[in-house]
A and B are shown apart, each in its own frame.
Chain A
Amino acid sequence: MKTLSRKQFGYLCLTPTILIFAIFGVYPVLRTILISMFRFRLQTGPTKTFIGLENYIRMFSDTRFFGALLFTLGFTILTVGCEVVLGLLFAQMMNLPIKGQGVLRVVVLIPWAIPTMVSGFMWKFMVHDQYGVFNQILMSTGLLDSFIPWLSQDGTARFILILSDIWKTAPYVSLLILAGLQTIPASLMEAAEIDGANALKRYFLITLPLLKPVLATAILFRIISSFKVFTVIVALTNGGPGYATESLTMYTMRTYFDAGNYGYGSALATFTLLLTCVIALFFTDVIKNKIDAGRRGTR
């Protein structure tokens, strides 16, 4: 048998990945985009009628869709914003050369490793209106006069969802930022100090600019991940009260599997895809860096 050249062997190695990506990634994306241009419902059987952009036009007059979109955007901005600010702060503390840092780095992993469904239930239990420890603590410290039904009011339900996401993810973000901080040479900071730059100035003129690539990567991945929020909502509020905490993913899921409207569901899913692409366009540097890292072996 003739031995394969390196190039041929390379293509052979790549085949399984390409098959999986094509069947379970690329084809489903194209299929969703296609179906979004059809009237296609479970109730009317397998008949699909081409209707062009009608499903998209319907979205403009769908208040439930706008509610879900606004909630998802608000959730994404607030969670990612808070997580980055807290992450920067935590990472700064975790970078101090003081004994006991190892413990912090391990503690940080706990919320990250817990499945979202489980952490959702932990929070649901803590904020329960009658026997939730959250109410008890707030009352005993005098911050509250009476128990609040956190998950049955629009504003507080949203607040708890955001808080639980920050609890779960800010520590992880701080670990990513810490990795960036550790690549900044100490000599650089010392030189700036000798030149008379105070701590605040050093932070904004040296640390932050050098952290930019790490921050941009973390922010991109966090935005995308926050934007597809679903599981934590299932655990905590199921979209309620009313539709107050229904995310885009949750509304799309219900359009598909509860209402059986595959055409309109596909249009909603395609909209999510488009928004994701728009977000990614703001981070072309990150994408370029990631691809270069794969090609050249520099991280």
Chain B
Amino acid sequence: MKVIRKSTIFSFYLFAVFFIVLIGFPFFWQLLNSFKYERDIFSLTWFPSAYTLENYYKAFTVRPLHEYLGNSFIIATVSTLFALVIGSLSSYAIGKTPIKGKTPILLVVLSISLLPPIVIINPIYTIIRSLGLLNSYTGLILVNILFTLTIVIWFLTPYLSSIPVEIEEAAEIDGASPAQCFMKIIIPLLGPGVFTVGILAFIQAWNEYLFALVLNPITIKTVTVGLKMYEADNYMPWGTIMAASAIIVVPLITLVLLLQKRIIGGLMTGGMKE
């Protein structure tokens, strides 16, 4: 292996420290201030002598943060699960069966993943309203499936296409139907891929704002819509906002840290988000 010069190593560590401070600072500042009394926030005291949990108490009492969290969790989880089931079926169809029109289908998938949501927001609002699904779980889940589905199909189709067809052929000679092949052979092979893309889809759905704002403005608010509710006209309760933000973000960061290997792998092998 090539020998790396000492100066390179030194500048790398310098860079690393700089990089980590730059990226981590806003997150650190949010956490730190969420534990401060308001007077210390307003006087810009970095490390005050006293800390409080008051902001966290207020985050749940001024607004129903627990409801926002529950709503986001339900909507993100259900739409991810649906997208995974529907998406793996489609990826199988595109990647492994001799159907016609694969190119147009893939072109539509790509177009939808590139489509600016503003182009479809008004007709979608009309559809969801006429179905009586405004301010419900179902409406927002249906719309979230549209975008998470494209992530799933993009991720799983190349993965499935690269599985050699001989594996299934052997099973078919033994008399297995295509459905049995899918259940017995493809699903076990999909396991790790489904898990990785599931995380990516979940994060996408959890962070979604535009449709959540338009479809669920009154009840079943998600965290991204709810966070904006803490703002008052002439007063910003910064401590409470930072506490609420921390509660929204900490589970997500924990998830990311626990599953970092898979997420990095997923992102690097072409799981293009947004």
Contact = CB atoms under 8 A, between A and B. Distances in A.
B14 to A, nearest CB: 10
Given A6-B178, A16-B89, A103-B20, A21 B103 contact: no
B177 interface: yes
Contacts of A112: 273
Contacts of B15: 93
A118 B163 CA distance: 40
Q: Which of B26, B41, B207 lies at the interface centre, i.e. has the most chain A CB atoms within 10 A of its CB?
A: B26
Contacts, number: 311
A70 interface: no
Contact of A115 (B109, B223, B256): B223
Contacts of B157: 293-294
Interface in A94-146: 96-98, 100, 103-119, 121-123, 125-126, 128, 130-131, 133, 136
A110 B24 contact: yes
B19 A107 contact: yes
A133 B42 CA distance: 10
B190 interface: no
B98 A296 contact: no
A71 interface: no
A105 B260 contact: yes
Interface string B232-262: 0000101001100100110011011100100
Contacts of B87: 17
A113 B256 CA distance: 7
Interface in B128-158: 142-143, 145-146, 149, 153-154, 157-158
A176 interface: yes
B52 interface: no
A28 B207 contact: no
B149 A123 contact: no
B220 interface: no
B interface secondary structure, majority: helix
A110 B245 contact: no
A234 B105 CA distance: 35
A24 to B, nearest CB: 4
B50 interface: no
A126 B26 contact: yes
A270 B158 CA distance: 32
A122 B179 contact: no
B167 interface: no
B270 A299 contact: yes
Interface stretch (A55-63, A154-162, A203-211, A252-260): A252-260
A interface secondary structure, majority: helix
A216 interface: no
Interface in A276-299: 276, 280, 287, 290-291, 293-299
Contact of A7 (B19, B98, B112): B98
B149 A234 contact: no
A61 B148 CA distance: 38
Contacts of A111: 23
A4 B23 CA distance: 54
Interface of B: 1-2, 4, 8-9, 12-13, 15-16, 19-20, 22-24, 26-27, 29-30, 33, 41-44, 86-87, 89-90, 92-99, 102-103, 105-110, 112, 114-124, 126-127, 142-143, 145-146, 149, 153-154, 157-163, 177-179, 182, 203, 206-207, 209-210, 214, 223-224, 227-228, 236, 238, 241-242, 245, 248-249, 252-253, 255-257, 260, 263-264, 267-270, 272-274
Given A16-B90, A98-B9, A113-B256, 8 more contacts: A23-B127, A121-B227, A122-B27, A249-B118, A290-B106, A296-B161, A297-B158, A297-B161
Interface of A: 3-7, 9-14, 16-18, 20-21, 23-29, 31-32, 35, 90, 93, 96-98, 100, 103-119, 121-123, 125-126, 128, 130-131, 133, 136, 167, 171-172, 175-176, 178-179, 182, 186, 190, 217, 220-221, 224-225, 227-228, 230-231, 234-235, 248-249, 252-253, 256-257, 262, 265-266, 269-270, 272-273, 276, 280, 287, 290-291, 293-299
19 contacts: A3-B178, A10-B178, A14-B105, A17-B90, A31-B126, A93-B15, A93-B16, A100-B16, A109-B256, A117-B227, A123-B26, A167-B23, A178-B268, A249-B116, A273-B115, A273-B116, A276-B114, A287-B107, A295-B102
